[in-house]
Structure 1
């Protein structure tokens, strides 16, 4: 019985470690009217179409942004909003700056993706501008949908104005991608 318990403990411990290593939460932000941005570093993956996405073998980090209506009942969202629902047509770009060397990657377009873990989200495979064990500053620039992509009904405009939210940027320093960059999905 002790052996079985010990084996189960080791298996669960290893499984838990794998699950915890799946994504690095870089930051979480809420903007009006109840939109939640969760920025992550995830394990590199094979993404198609291949001609548009960095090959998994050349990738250090799968940079992600989950953008959803707040599911937390304490955060007010617009009437009729599906709590936790994905918000499409957002423009997100990122900058990744090596804090030791100043070398950076700019204008990284974070585009729509879908998988069986996060479902719809924004992401991009990237090569870090330096070594995996160095620290990075990551800046996410988020902009509301372009007018030609999202029509705004009068009731929305009357209550919330002429756009979904105000464009803004979020800056995170001392980001350590090493564990996530060294992990593999396969």
Structure 2
């Protein structure tokens, strides 16, 4: 993961000074300055990494919270402030990616499909056929991309990683499209209940 978010035109403010003020005096004004300088850069990196605005904002919050807590560990003799903050950002990014990967995919299916309460599978009846038609009509109201992902996860039993590879899109895009599709299906189901 390369951190290529510093613009060549940026003039470097007194970042080390701000970090020392945070470490020594818990200076909120210095933190505010540091936050305003780093936040847009971290957010741009987060958008490249996760392709999702909320996760990019979360990366900013995680990084800058760690900077506030760990400012006393910064040593200007060992490296630049930018390197130190971007290392914290990179670690927070890795943590977020691990968290995303370890989330259970079953939770997505729980959102729209009821759990089977017994081991007995009853034969399909007319109401099952009607329910299938209703679901098909609801799926037809999703965007093409959302419908493909829902069908992939729930009907073809593909993992999110397999779908990302199949459609050549980032895993974060698969997750966000599935989230949006599920939210839309919930809304549509509410309209038709």
Q: Counting strand residues as a fraction of each chain, which structure ranks higher?
A: 1
TM-score of the pair, normalised by structure 2:
0.24
TM-score of the pair, normalised by structure 1:
0.25
Greater Cα radius of gyration, structure 1 or 2: 2
